[in-house]
Amino acid sequence: MKEIIETSELQDVFWLMNELRPELKANDFIEKVKFQQKTMNYKLFAFYEEGELVGLCGIMPFFVLYHSKCLYICDFVVDSKKRSKGYGKKYLEQIQNYAKEQGFNEIELSSNFTRVKAHEFYEKKMDMDKTGFVFKKVLN
């Protein structure tokens, strides 16, 4: 688990984030990550197997009234060619351990309705509970 900080590192991992966020352009990705790192304590971790990038996880503290100390998983992706091989479970367990070490007692994430396999993974492999819906409105 390696924290990605430098612009060159962000450029190197963008291809994998693009699997999760295909609408995101490389320059926007770098700009948003840098902004979130400065203002929201966002951290992006890369996971490697034998020197090859296999997963990414973006996290940040989530301080709201309805949680105690929660770590929010903003982005989580495993290379589409490497899924269903145990990497996702391994990497999220590392994130859970990191969260505990940092004093968090909950983790939370949201996932698009269309990601049915991801939902099954979170519920069955990671023992996470589906607790609600996220509502969104685009303001013009």
pLDDT of residue 65: 86
Look at residue 67 in the predicted model and tell me its pLDDT: 85
CATH number, domain 2-125? 3.40.630.30
Closest CA to 111 of 72, 137, 83: 72
Sequential DSSP letters for 61-98: EE--TT-SSEEEEEEEEE-GGGTTSSHHHHHHHHHHHH
> What pTM was estimated for this model as a whole?
0.91
pLDDT tens-digit map of 112-131: 888 888 889 899 999 999 88
pLDDT of residue 64: 86
Which pLDDT score is estimated for 105?
96
Question: What is the predicted pLDDT for the residue at 30?
Answer: 98
Q: Which run of H or of E encompasses 30?
A: helix 26-39
Distance CA 76, CA 21 (A): 10
3-state secondary structure of 31: helix
Per-residue confidence (pLDDT) for residue 132, from 0 to 100: 83
CA atoms of 99 and 93, how far apart (whole Å): 10
In the chain, which residues have pLDDT < 50?
none
